[in-house]
Structure 1
Amino acid sequence: MDGIPGTLWLKLESHNPHGSVKGRTALALWQDVESRVDPEIGIVESTSGNLGLALAAVAAAHGVPFTAVVDPRSSASVVDAVRALEGRVVTIDKPDGAGGYLLSRIAYIRERLRVQPRLVWPNQYVNPANPRAHTHGTAPELWAQTGGRPTTVLVAVSTGGTLAGFRDYVVAFRPEWELIGVDVVGSAALGGVSGRRVLSGIGASRPSTFLPNGYRPALWITPQEAVSACLWLSEKTGMGVGGSSGALIAAALKVLRSSPRRDSVACLCPDGADRYFDTVYSALWRERKGLEPVDVARGIEIVARRDHAPPAARPPRSPREESTP
């Protein structure tokens, strides 16, 4: 970047079981509600796609019914995969008046619970198991994979569970991280003004329950920047990531340009390109949504690509451990 070297780490959660970071969340949610699940009635969850697929797989493994409540922006391939796992899919196409469908999806679930009170809703939007999965799993894993070096870490927000989990990890273990939240313009997840959104998997129609006071520092990325970053990465490296990852990469390039001291930036990339072939990677879809390309990589040149992490670092100690004789 303008002659100053820097390192951009991409933690590709698409290599997880079920193809996204939501596999971690789904397992944690299931473990939290398992004792309450009626095997004849099962569970229901509101999802933009990835969590629905992961929960469908977990439910199928335990032989219980699962219903995914999605909306028109959900990936067709993910919806098909949920059905292939014998999950039921309900698509809510009524806008919620806040730029999305989230509030309408939740209203549908609340009505289902009223009619069928034995149905279990893990509720990824408020369940502490959501951030806990990342405090104890994803965050320390990233710290070890980056060798424990001082790093600016970027995490996208939708429910806010992942970002809250990383925040709790930073508070408890004090790694040498600058943690930045990344949202999209039109999202209210971090306290922004809600409005029209076209990307799935990032942003929300309401503030995050896990981050009731918002989060700072944070960056807001336009959908044009997010999509352009996806296309740039694919062209330059052959790597394909999803729309929320594109937002993270666009933010990371801004961070790398903003200060020479930020020479190590890591993005937690939630999923891969396979769920966005009919949207982000479709020229027809981009034209229909008015997403003209922008130069997100101005002044950036990729000089080397490395497909592995350095040797894992020893996990940092918590303040309690440090005070123990």
Structure 2
Amino acid sequence: MFISPSPIVDDLNAAVGSTPLVRLHRLFPTTEVLAKVESMNPGWSAKDRPAVSMLDDALHRGVLAPGGTVIESSSGNLGISLARACTLRDVNFVCVVDARANRSTVAAIRALGARIEVVDRPDPATGDLLTARLARVRELLDEIPGSINLNQYGNPANARAHHRGTMREIAEATGGRLDVMLAACSTTGTIGGCRSYITERGMQTELVAVDAVGSVLFGGAQGARLLPGMGAGFVTELSRQVEPDRVIRVSERQCIAGARILAQREGILAGASTGGVVFAAAQVIRERPEVRRLAILVHDGGLPYLETVYDDDWVRENLDLAPEDIRATMTEIEDLQTHDGTDRD
């Protein structure tokens, strides 16, 4: 079989996107489930897309110039993506993370030339670490002359990256024939970009936002969120501009089980938010047996989670979940796919 040569690009920013859609026929034998494997971006996550989009937008509009400084809050993935993108645009980068961030992720951000600021205490008023990170961003903007914040939580270039990239690529690969699209939420840029593309093209696709229990997005009740990368402790500006067709909230146990079964059945090592999407996809299939084709996002790769999500001791000590709890939920994911209407609880 002839394989066309890979293109020559000027830098890794130009290599973002065009990630593969993979059929998950081992895990989902009764329904066609297509996984958009965003972990194959050069920064190993879907955050590569908005990172390049927001940075280049700021440079194009003249609010940022080479030699300037970007200060951004991140749970990890956007930090990696912005660290690389800023390096390639000769821009300084300060990344504000919190104590939940994976050590390997923080090390990668630092290795790419960024300065790290760690917030280890939640906001006293809300008890939320994300709110505390944003407060530290505001302090740094006052301290560093000429610095800017890209504001991933309200920047239209965030959602635009997924409109022009992620959702367009999925629609073109499927000929627009897609019953359900599922993606996890944090800034809601992904959901917003998918929504605008689906609406613009008149696609008959149900859009499902997968959010964490404890997140306040889309009317959720605030609570503790111990896994990074999904949900928010405040209502983001972007989330006010989008209305998904449905919201499915997933627990930490369901996220971990979904990630582990995806790795064991399909060989895709992904993070916790993707695990939540896998669980939600199985739930949709159980509830709607008429659905023939779904697409899900593999938001990031699982290597940074080997010492957390994939480690039984860490899960037991930090989430009070025993290995048998996770295995039972993995079995539940497989049982959810039965279409005979029989409960197996």
- When normalised by structure 2's length, the TM-score is 0.82
Distance 2:80 2:127 in 1: 24
1:12 aligns with 2:12: no
- The equivalent of 1:115 in structure 2 is 143
Q: Is the 8 A contact 2:206 2:245 kept in 1?
A: no
- The equivalent of 1:85 in structure 2 is 112
Distance 2:228 2:143 in 1: 29
Moved over 4 A (4+): none
1:290 aligns with 2:320: yes
Distance 1:298 1:22 in 2: 29
Percentage of pairs with the same residue: 35
Matched AA of 1:225: Q
1:225 aligns with 2:254: yes
- Cα root mean square deviation, aligned: 2.1
Q: 1:278 to 1:63 in 2, by over 3 A?
A: same
Matched AA of 2:43: H
Q: Is the 8 A contact 2:283 2:337 kept in 1?
A: no
Q: CA deviation at 1:263?
A: 2.2
Q: CA deviation at 1:297?
A: 1.8
Distance 2:96 2:76 in 1: 9
- The equivalent of 1:235 in structure 2 is 264
Residue-by-residue CA offset, 1:159-212 (whole Å, 9 max, x unaligned): 111101111111111123111111010011222011101111111111121122
Q: 1:296 to 1:68 in 2, by over 3 A?
A: farther
Distance 1:257 1:4 in 2: 13
1:256 aligned residue (281, 285, 291): 285
Q: Secondary structure at the match of 2:249?
A: strand
Distance 2:146 2:297 in 1: 36
Q: 1:301 to 1:218 in 2, by over 3 A?
A: closer
Distance 1:54 1:230 in 2: 22
Q: How many residues align?
A: 301
Q: Runs of 5+ in structure 1 lacking a partner?
A: 303-325
- The equivalent of 2:54 in structure 1 is 29
Residue-by-residue CA offset, 1:44-101 (whole Å, 9 max, x unaligned): 1001111111110011112221111001111211111111111101111111254531
Q: 1:174 to 1:98 in 2, by over 3 A?
A: farther
Q: Is the 8 A contact 2:207 2:244 kept in 1?
A: no
- The equivalent of 2:121 in structure 1 is 94
Q: 1:254 to 1:266 in 2, by over 3 A?
A: same
Matched AA of 2:72: E
Distance 1:5 1:98 in 2: 44
Q: Is the 8 A contact 1:253 1:296 kept in 2?
A: no
Q: CA deviation at 1:120?
A: 1.2
- The equivalent of 2:4 in structure 1 is none
Map of 1:1-325 to 2, 5 A cutoff?
A: 5-34=30-59, 35-96=62-123, 98=126, 100-212=128-240, 215-288=244-317, 289-291=319-321, 292-293=325-326, 294=329, 295-299=331-335
Distance 2:31 2:155 in 1: 37
Distance 1:88 1:116 in 2: 13
Distance 2:235 2:337 in 1: 36
Q: CA deviation at 1:130?
A: 0.5
Q: Runs of 5+ in structure 2 lacking a partner?
A: 1-24, 339-345
